[in-house]
Chain A
Amino acid sequence: MIASVLLLALLVVGVVVVVRAVAHRPGATAARTSSLRELFTYVLLLVAVLVTSTGTAGLLGQLLDRYATDGPLVTGSVEAARNGAFVVVGLPLGLLVGLVIRRALRDDPAERTSFGWAAYVTAGTVVPLVVAMVAVHDSLGWALGVDPENPRAVARAVVWSLVWLVHWRLDRALTPSDHATPHLLLGSALGLGTTVVGAVGTVGNSLDLAFGLQRDTFVDPQDQLRRAAATLLVGAGVWTLYWWRHASARPRGQFTDAYALAAGTLVGIVAGVVGTVWAVSDGLVWALGSPAAAGAVEHFRNTPHLLATAAAGALLWWYHTGLLARPVATARPGRDEAHRLRDYASAALGLLATCVGGVMLVVALVDALTRSVAVAGTPAANVALVAVSALVVGLPVWWLAWRTAQAACRTAPGPERASVTRRTYLVAVTGVGVLVAVGALIGVVYLLLEDLFAGALTLGTLRSLRYALGVLVVAAAVAGAHAALFRAERALRPHAVQRVRYVVLVGAGDPAVAHEVAATTGARVLSWPRTDGAGPVWSVADVARLVAASPGPDVVVVQTPDGLLAVPVDRQRGDVAAVTVPLVPPGPPAVPAPSADGGTVTTS
């Protein structure tokens, strides 16, 4: 019970955090700061809905259990009492609070864009969706003859699907399109994850059956296949509805880009690389190494699933990376921060696989050199073959991504080298490399000293520090190369550009200007658009030139009748707590006569 309450609380908190991020992002002008009262009203409604649904599903489950199957041998009162209490309290409460919220939504159109409503409708669809997906999966397991009869799962599937449907329709009808994005993407992610797991299981188990392999000794492959097909069916249904029918039509934005990067770059590459490395190393060890398994059936029992995982990763990467190629409505065409994140994250993941391969290669080398003192363990040839697999897969992934980034560096060196993503990548790879190298160095020295003090410094010592040595060599090489590159690029960046830390563009209408100025100057840029709609289009080149010429440390750029004007300011010294300016009646601006009672500025 405590676990379920905790899980529910975690889900609600997660949804609230996501929706809060949407409500507070720049540009969401309609987002209102909802009051605590509003928030509690929605929380109360959500609790009432969840409690009533749990109770109703429980009662329906008990009914089905009793009258549709052989039924209970013993009956207790606890379950009925709990479910009854949930419905008796939850239903009237939900109806009452629901009526209050319905009136608010009808009378105040701004309510539909409020944080409370967005959080409620997101939690009200995502939580029932998760419960319904699991319940439908369990019911399908029963229908397909894999799992024992489960009338309670059928009851949960029916009730929670209805709750989801009601909230889905409310969301479609009431929530403005741009506020519904987090909900649609959460649903898409749930559907996609389930689909991938189901598809890998279906393909893997089908191949198992075709080749007469058995992955799990105690489970029938037919049952595994049916269960995976049920997972695929549930996931594909949710993904088709959420992504294919609705979310995929959304224009590119912060959230859709994050979704595409997480699904395509992160999950796609990790799944693809891990599956491929494992499958290739299985093949290499079988052909060239010393396999531990007696026969091919045992040695290759995981291979179909690994190949299916690799294929799923490749598909995820291909489809979701393609989404980033669509133009952004608010920015100019070309390379933006999402493309950089895609390339540098891919490079980092490829580099990681390459490093693992490098470490294993050093390990295999030391292993082969010190073979004379080995008693047992994995043969050095097998370790070397795994290393080769990791290098063969990791290097191309890193190289392709890095080549794209370097090509961008050549075509537009300014924005690329100044971009936060590239600088973060170089600093992070260097920093992590240094930390890991220091840790490995401590390990190497410790093992050396231990044997030295014990008077047992032999070939066995070298053998015992092969892993630490491998990590040290690879981490030091990676950190060194990236540190050198970072230093070289820092020297290339113009000094004047670095001097300005913060730029405020007063009246620049196009948000793309702010992005480009940030990319060109390397400064943090804040853009305040004009609310009267007036003002000409700003030239990025002019702004960049003015910012570069400004002494800094911060700059405010304004539009004057003569053109753009850059005012150097210091944000850090603006620590005036209060400024009082008494009103001066408008008069002829002839001579500014100093007076004792007007025009004074007092600071405190």
Chain B
Amino acid sequence: MTTIGPDRTSERRRALVPVVAVVGLVAVLAVVLFAVTRPAKVWDPATPQGVVQTYVTAVLAGDTVAAADLLAPGSPCAATDLDRTFLDRDTRVDLVGSTVQGTQAQVRVRVGVDPGADPLGDNGEERTFRLTRTTSGWRIDGIPWPLYECTGRLT
């Protein structure tokens, strides 16, 4: 087959490269943004991780009464203690690990704020939740994050 005039196929192909690249980049970005904004995995509320997840979610949402409901019966803390805490909007809480020994459990999390104070990367701080199995399920014992001291008074 013979063609008359200059062959413009390769030029057209070359012109398509930036268009394909831009479309590809936009697609990749969209997929990544979709993947990172999906809701977090919901842990079973009957497990220690699930209780900590519900507690942390409630604390960050400002629902201190719901959070205080997850504290163990003998806990020195109450909803009024949680009312006094201040948390950054960008606070993220990652699960690091958990161990269960009989009626006691430990859930380790890493609390960080992104971007942190360190421009070269702030990996946050590890915090440990200590849980006790009660008749109504796992409950958080001691003085849990984000609290440092508790008065336990409801008024």
Contact = CB atoms under 8 A, between A and B. Distances in A.
Interface of A: 1, 3-4, 7-8, 58-60, 62-63, 65-67, 69-80, 82, 84, 87-88, 91, 130-131, 134-135, 138, 147-150, 152-153, 156
27 contacts: A1-B115, A62-B36, A66-B35, A66-B40, A67-B35, A72-B92, A72-B94, A73-B40, A73-B43, A73-B93, A73-B109, A74-B92, A76-B89, A77-B37, A78-B114, A79-B90, A82-B115, A88-B29, A134-B120, A135-B121, A138-B121, A138-B123, A148-B123, A148-B126, A149-B96, A153-B123, A156-B121
B132 interface: no
B133 interface: no
B127 to A, nearest CB: 11
B33 A74 contact: no
B52 interface: yes
A78 B89 CA distance: 8
B32 interface: yes
A65 B94 CA distance: 8
A82 B90 CA distance: 10
Contacts of A63: 32, 35-36
B142 to A, nearest CB: 18
B134 interface: no
Most chain B beta carbons < 10 A, residue from A3, A8, A63, A79: A79
A73 B56 contact: yes
Contacts of B92: 72, 74-76, 79
B143 interface: no
Main SS at interface, chain B: mixed
Interface string B19-61: 0000001000100110111111101000001001100110010
Contacts of A147: 123
Contacts of A73: 40, 43, 49, 52-53, 56-57, 93-95, 109
Contacts of B114: 58, 78-79
Contacts of B35: 63, 66-67
B17 to A, nearest CB: 13
Interface string B56-96: 11001000000000000000000000000000011111111
Interface of B: 25, 29, 32-33, 35-41, 43, 49, 52-53, 56-57, 60, 89-97, 109-110, 114-115, 117-121, 123, 126
A64 to B, nearest CB: 10
Contacts of A135: 120-121
Contact of A80 (B37, B89, B109): B37
Most chain A beta carbons < 10 A, residue from B49, B52, B92, B97: B92
B87 to A, nearest CB: 11
A71 B38 CA distance: 12
Contacts of A70: 94-97
A67 B123 CA distance: 17
A78 B41 contact: no
Most chain A beta carbons < 10 A, residue from B25, B36, B114: B36
Contact of B40 (A74, A77, A134): A74
Contacts of A58: 114
A7 B29 contact: no
Nearest to B35: A63
